[in-house]
Amino acid sequence: MARILAVDDDTDILNLVRNLLSMAGHQVLAAAGGPAALAALDGRNAPDLAVLDVSMPPMDGVELAERLQQLPGLEHLPVIFLSAHVQQADVERGLAIGARYMTKPFTANALLHYVEMVMQGRVVSSDW
């Protein structure tokens, strides 16, 4: 299965995402924010996918994704954004780096479907 970086400043959502992905057989590295995620990746194998909250202080998910994709070996890191408040400007920034969006609240099946589709390199359907 995949190595997935999960980042969310809401610990309940972070634990939910980590548990869902782990139960599906994925290896999950969880972090409570952008700086923590960058620090946690130092010296580790690169993730295959990142599942990121969009609205996080002090570094939002889009900025984190951009920084991750600047790291060696992560230039084409697939990203799924989770967001309760999708702003058009954030969507445009995310789409520019190839990210997919899921809105909160989300179902377990929808998240697992998105992960599966992204890992297979297919366009993710947004009709969940």
pTM reported for the whole predicted model: 0.90
In what helix (H) or strand (E) does residue 39 lie, and over which residues does it extend?
helix 34-41
Distance between CA 3 and CA 126 in Å, rounded?
Answer: 23
- In order of their start, the domains of the chain are 3-119 (3.40.50.2300)
List, for residues 22-77, the tens digit of each pLDDT value: 999 999 999 999 999 999 998 788 899 999 999 999 999 999 999 999 999 899 99
Gap between the Cα atoms of 79 and 82, Å rounded:
10
Can you tell me the distance from the alpha carbon of 90 to that of 72, in angstroms, rounded to the nearest whole number? Answer: 25
SS3 content of the chain, % helix, strand, coil (to 5): 40, 20, 40
pLDDT in tens, 66-120: 999 999 989 999 999 998 877 788 788 888 888 888 888 999 999 999 999 888 8
Q: Is the dihedral of CA 113, 118, 119, 120 positive or negative?
A: positive
Q: Are 93 and 69 in contact (CB under 8 A)?
A: no
